[in-house]
Every structure is written in C-alpha cells, then in structure tokens.
Chain A
C-alpha cells in the first residue's frame, strides 16, 4: 500500500514537473532576437472580385525584436515587397508594378512596434505599432499567439509565434482596381526567432 502511495506521489510530481516545463516553454526569455528568415513566412489573402480569396505570400522577410515583459519592448519586421509570390509570374509582375506595391519605389514594408501586450503567463498576445507601406504609415494592431519558446536541438534559444492582422490597402494609397481586388487584406505571419 505504501509502495502504491509512493508511486502515485511520484507520478503526480512528474506530471506537475512536465506541466510546469510546458508553461515555462511558452514564455520567451527577455532579450534581443533576430528573425530566422528560413523559418518565417508572411502570407496574405485578398478577395478576387468576390469569387474567391487569392492567396499570396512574401518570400523575403526579416527583422529583430527586443523582448522585455517588465520593461521596454521593440519589434521591427521588414518585408521586401518585390518578393511577392502568388504562384503566377505575370500577376506577380503586375503586383510589383505601380498599380499595386510599386516595388521599385517602395522596396520594403516595415512594421515597428513597442506597445506589446502580455497575458498573465507572460506570453505575447498583441503588438500595437505602425505599418509603413507604399509611402504611408498607419497604426496597426497585430494579434499574436505564442507557440513555443525553448532551446532547439542546435543549442539556440528559439521562439515561435503566429501573428495576424487585417489592413485596408487604400489606407496606404493602394487604390487601384478596388472594385475588382478587395480593399481588405488579411495578413498572416508565422515566424521563429533566435535569441542573440
């Protein structure tokens, strides 16, 4: 009976230890991080004449952030507009043209934020900042879901997030063909970052 009780206690302690590890694994440590471009993806979705939502992505994304739940936070994402990819060369060329992104004139879109919201566990839930795109800057709020924060198999401390927001391209001066191509664009960014 005593052995059974001891085994039960050990199991309970073990479960608690695992649970505690899972909780602390999602709370990123304070510090400076660089986005791992090889594990970062920015995708978007926009209505095509109401028939469907065209899916596209940007292949060149980077940035850094300083995380400090008890102090100052700074986040910056940079996406190269010329890296737009909708799986159609001709359409991508059109998107890079002055009709839409005007990539030669505005080669980057940048999100900068320092207003970071955390939940009670210390996980990021929202980032409020400014999106600069197409020569204009507008305040944008990005919803964030923390996925994991832990040491990876190569010894780096790695964090992962899923972020999403919706913007209106007309707010940034992209007014062409609003009747055909939707004004609202859903942005989805999935990224990993490595602590420096």
Chain B
C-alpha cells in the first residue's frame, strides 16, 4: 500500500512532468504539469470524474480550464478569467454547505478566501522562483492536510508539488535566477492552493489557525522576491506543523 501511495503521489507526476519538460515546447509547460497531475489524480480517486461529484472531483475542472484558457488569453484578461474561475470554484465547493446549513462564521471564511484571491490578482508579484514556490506551497499543504484530516486531499496537493518538481529542480540549478514558469502560471497555482486549502478547511475540518498560517505563508511565498521572504514563508509553514503536533491528541490509528 505504501509503495502504491508513493507511486501515485510522487513518482508518476514527477516522471510524467519530467518527460513533458524534455519533449514539450516551452509554451506547453503547464499542459505537461496538468497531464502529469491528472494521471496521478485519477489514480488516487480510483476513476476519472468526468461528471464531478463534490469539490474534490471538481478540482480538475478548475485547473484544466485555467491551463486551456492560457493558450488563448494572456496578461490582464487571463488574470481576470482565473479570478472568476476561482470565485466560481469557491461558490461551487460551498454550495452543499450553504444549502444544508448556512452559518455566519462559514460565510465570513468564504469571504476571506475570496479576498485572498483578490489580493493575489490585484498586486503583481516579482517572484523569480515560481516553480519552487509552488512546489514548496503544495508540499507543505499536502503534508499538513494528510496528517490532520484527509490523506486523499494531502496526496492531491503533494502530487501537484511533484508535478512541479522538475521545474523547481531547474530553478535551483539556475541558482533561482531563471524562472521556469510564467507569473500567470504562479497565480493560477496559487489560486489552486487556496481552493485546496478551502476544501480541506470545510470538508476535512482543517484547524482554523493552521488554515490562517498556511494561507499567510502561501501569500508571502507568492510575493517573495528575496531569499528572506521565502525563508519566512517556510518558517510559517513550520509553525503550522508545530502547532498541529502540539495540539495533536490521541495515538495513531493507522
């Protein structure tokens, strides 16, 4: 079972993405990442959710639409489209909660997530290591979710990190001076991060303070243009993990 988890979460997306890096033209970078992640995602779910049922099965729709739209739209219109897709995703994920049991704290958190996406769309980033940033964000997110609530959502996040892995490696190889993906792609992936953490918060009962720490860290990482800020983001992620272990109750049950 552990080998299967390793293969579907790390090996498959990393290797497929690496093949894409080798053979695909530069403008198809995110397509390669998407294909690598979709394969892993379908394996983890046990099927490909052509007709999505529930938020976890809707994730592929957001990322696929975002990647495909990137071929036809650029710059500001693309950012606006991504923001619209993001808000639509949040509302879609929230709909079962809103219709079943609407509560003010939940609505406030929903508005908070919309606001976070709005900040990312409005203020431009000068991040020179977008692939590494994305890999870091999704790795930390995946680890946190896997140990606190949902192994499945954790795997989905980590597989995205793995799909970005080859690009993160080449950014490191180039001493973090040559971005391997565009800023628009970083924005898209950051919105995907927020969607994932929203699902984990709402459906897997991710702790509120952990959620706040993770969102803060991801936004700092998004805007980091210096080494110090990426280190700061990593420290905040670490704080979230420490917070989890301090508050952990009960023995392991696996």
Q: Are A102 and B203 in contact (CB under 8 A)?
A: yes
Is B228 on the interface with A (CB-CB < 8 A)?
no
Q: Are A94 and B54 in contact (CB under 8 A)?
A: no
Q: How far is the CA of A70 from the CA of B207 in the complex (A)?
A: 54
Contact status of A179 and B45, CB under 8 A, knowing A98-B204, A104-B202, A105-B55: no
Q: Separation in Å of the A83 CB from the closest CB of chain B?
A: 15
Query: A89: which of B150, B204, B250, B252 is its contact (CB, 8 Å)?
Result: B250
Q: Are A94 and B151 in contact (CB under 8 A)?
A: yes
Nearest-CB residue, chain A, relative to B54: A105
Q: Are A93 and B249 in contact (CB under 8 A)?
A: no
Contact status of A102 and B47, CB under 8 A, knowing A94-B150, A107-B100: no
Q: Are B149 and A94 in contact (CB under 8 A)?
A: yes
Q: Are A177 and B1 in contact (CB under 8 A)?
A: yes
Inter-chain contacts of B149 with A (CB < 8 A) = 93-94, 97
Inter-chain contacts of B97 with A (CB < 8 A) = 104
Q: Are A180 and B203 in contact (CB under 8 A)?
A: no
Inter-chain contacts of B249 with A (CB < 8 A) = 89-90
- Within B100-156, the residues touching A (CB, 8 Å) are 100, 149-153
Is B217 on the interface with A (CB-CB < 8 A)?
no
Query: A91: which of B4, B47, B153, B253 is its contact (CB, 8 Å)?
Result: B253
Interface size on A, residues (CB 8 A): 22
Q: Are A135 and B53 in contact (CB under 8 A)?
A: yes
Is A121 on the interface with B (CB-CB < 8 A)?
no
Q: How far is the CA of A180 from the CA of B249 in the complex (A)?
A: 23
- Within A95-124, the residues touching B (CB, 8 Å) are 96-99, 102, 104-105, 107
Q: How far is the CA of A178 from the CA of B1 in the complex (A)?
A: 9
Inter-chain contacts of A102 with B (CB < 8 A) = 54, 203
Q: How far is the CA of A93 from the CA of B204 in the complex (A)?
A: 7
Q: Separation in Å of the B252 CB from the closest CB of chain A?
A: 8
Nearest-CB residue, chain B, relative to A91: B253
Is A8 on the interface with B (CB-CB < 8 A)?
no
Q: How far is the CA of A176 from the CA of B150 in the complex (A)?
A: 11
Q: Are B1 and A98 in contact (CB under 8 A)?
A: no
- Within B1-60, the residues touching A (CB, 8 Å) are 1, 4, 45-47, 53-56
Is B66 on the interface with A (CB-CB < 8 A)?
no
Inter-chain contacts of A94 with B (CB < 8 A) = 149-151, 253
Q: Are B1 and A135 in contact (CB under 8 A)?
A: no
Q: Are B205 and A93 in contact (CB under 8 A)?
A: yes
Inter-chain contacts of A177 with B (CB < 8 A) = 1, 151
Q: Are A98 and B56 in contact (CB under 8 A)?
A: yes
**A147-181 toward B: CB 8 Å interface, digit per residue (1/0)?**
00000000000000000000000000101111110
Q: How far is the CA of A175 from the CA of B150 in the complex (A)?
A: 14
Is A88 on the interface with B (CB-CB < 8 A)?
yes
Contact status of A97 and B1, CB under 8 A, knowing A90-B253, A135-B53, A175-B46: no
- Within A2-45, the residues touching B (CB, 8 Å) are none
Query: A179: which of B1, B153, B252 is its contact (CB, 8 Å)?
Result: B1
Inter-chain contacts of B252 with A (CB < 8 A) = 90
Q: How far is the CA of A91 from the CA of B150 in the complex (A)?
A: 10
Q: Separation in Å of the A36 CB from the closest CB of chain B?
A: 25
Q: Are A98 and B53 in contact (CB under 8 A)?
A: no
Nearest-CB residue, chain A, relative to B250: A90
Q: Can you pick out 6 interface pairs between chain A and chain B where the beta carbons lie within 8 Å of each other? A: A89-B249, A97-B204, A105-B96, A176-B151, A178-B46, A179-B1
User: Which residues does B use to contact A, with CB under 8 Å?
Assistant: 1, 4, 45-47, 53-56, 96-97, 100, 149-153, 199, 202-205, 248-250, 252-253
A sample of 7 more A-B contacts (CB under 8 A), given A97-B205, A176-B151, A179-B4, is: A98-B199, A99-B153, A104-B97, A135-B53, A175-B45, A175-B47, A179-B1
